[in-house]
Amino acid sequence: MSDLLSAHGPRIVAIANQKGGVGKTTTAINLGAALAEQGQRVLLIDIDPQGNASTGLGVEPDDRTYTSYELMLDDAQLDQIIMQSDVQNLDIVPATVDLSSADIELIANEKRSFLLHDALRQPAMNDLNYDYILIDCPPSLNLLTVNAMVAAHSVLVPLQSEFFALEGLSQLMLTIREVRQSANPNLRIEGIVLTMYDSRNNLSQQVEEDARENLGDLVFRTIIPRNVRVSEAPSFSVPVLEFDTMSKGAAAYRALASELLQKHESVAA
């Protein structure tokens, strides 16, 4: 959608991969925190019924009165739906398991693919002056993920440095192409980020080689290493940037945020 927002409003990035456990939520939380640390105003929207991003940022299930479901259905005010996280400059729209029925409930809705798109383009959203909106997608190419792709300017794909990592990509690319054709012609691929990389493991290196050979510049230069501090942080309800600010994981997500910002600055220039 070429609208004024794409020039002046927040940059909306869907974080998607239909495989579970590849680092989508971890990337949403920590890239969000790293962008926020670098002075960007960030909104993270959790659209995974598992609500891991909400939990990882310390939003207790009992406090999730309004969620991304109400956001999509325009069933509550933005100031009721958007919650502040403990991280400065980082807000969140939480998710609950209620979202799991949305996929079916929304089928009959004429605007079913555009609900998030429309919610994010309401004037009240623009007034909040976010620089980035990151959408943490569920591990599926369902209607929720399609909503994210229709709403977004770009898709960021975490790719686990594991065997078969590249296998699911063609299906994901196909979905992106379909969304471009049907609803969002300007949807871009923001980039593919290798996650849980283990430099001592030949397999990780092989996946990186394959990815760079096949996908070229689409692959971010920054690689996210496997780092136990990254996996420990969510149980303390904070991004790894706060949990262990000097850890390799924190450094990697800071570098990813810088790379992303640099890209966007050079595009804007």
Report the interface residues with ligand ADP, using CB under 6 A: 20-26, 52, 139, 195-196, 224, 226-227, 230-231, 234, 249
> Least separation, in Å, of the C-beta of 241 and Mg ion?
18
Q: In which order are the strands placed within the sheet that holds 11-15? A: 83-84, 90-93, 42-46, 132-136, 11-15, 154-160, 188-195
Residue 24 binds Mg ion, judged by CB under 5 A: yes
> Least separation, in Å, of the C-beta of 55 and ligand ADP?
10
Nearer to ligand ADP, 25 or 113 (CB): 25
Nearer to ligand ADP, 224 or 261 (CB): 224
Residue 35 contact partner, candidates Mg ion, ligand ADP, none, CB within 5 to 8 A by sort of partner: none
Nearer to ligand ADP, 70 or 244 (CB): 244
Nearer to ligand ADP, 125 or 223 (CB): 223
Output the furthest CA–CA distance in the chain (Å, rounded): 51
Half-sphere exposure of 49 (CA within 13 A, CB side): 12
Which residue's entry shows tokens 């996908």? 215
Residue 226 contact partner, candidates ligand ADP, Mg ion, none, CB within 5 to 8 A by sort of partner: ligand ADP
Residue 32 contact partner, candidates ligand ADP, Mg ion, none, CB within 5 to 8 A by sort of partner: none
> Least separation, in Å, of the C-beta of 184 and ligand ADP?
22
Q: Under the phi-then-psi rule, with left for phi > 0, alpha for psi from -120 to 50, and beta for the rest, what region is 187?
A: beta
Burial string for 22-47 (b: 16+ CB within 10 Å, else e) reads: bbbbbbbbbbbbbbbbeebbbbbbbb
Are the C-beta atoms of residues 150 and 184 closer than 8 Å to each other? yes
Residue 185 contact partner, candidates Mg ion, ligand ADP, none, CB within 5 to 8 A by sort of partner: none
> Least separation, in Å, of the C-beta of 20 and ligand ADP?
4
> Least separation, in Å, of the C-beta of 142 and ligand ADP?
14
Nearer to Mg ion, 9 or 23 (CB): 23
Residue 22 contact partner, candidates ligand ADP, Mg ion, none, CB within 5 to 8 A by sort of partner: ligand ADP
Instruction: Give CA separation, 157 vs 28, 75, 149, in Å.
Output: 11, 30, 12
* Long-range CB pairs of 260-263, under 8 A, 24+ apart, other chains included: 260/31, 260/35, 260/190, 260/191, 261/35, 261/38, 261/40, 263/191
Residue 113 binds Mg ion, judged by CB under 5 A: no
Residue choice 25, 145, 147, 247 for contact with Mg ion (CB under 5 A): 25
Pairing of strands 90-93, 132-136: unpaired
Residue 157 contact partner, candidates ligand ADP, Mg ion, none, CB within 5 to 8 A by sort of partner: none
Q: What is the binding site for Mg ion (CB under 5 A)? A: 24-25, 52
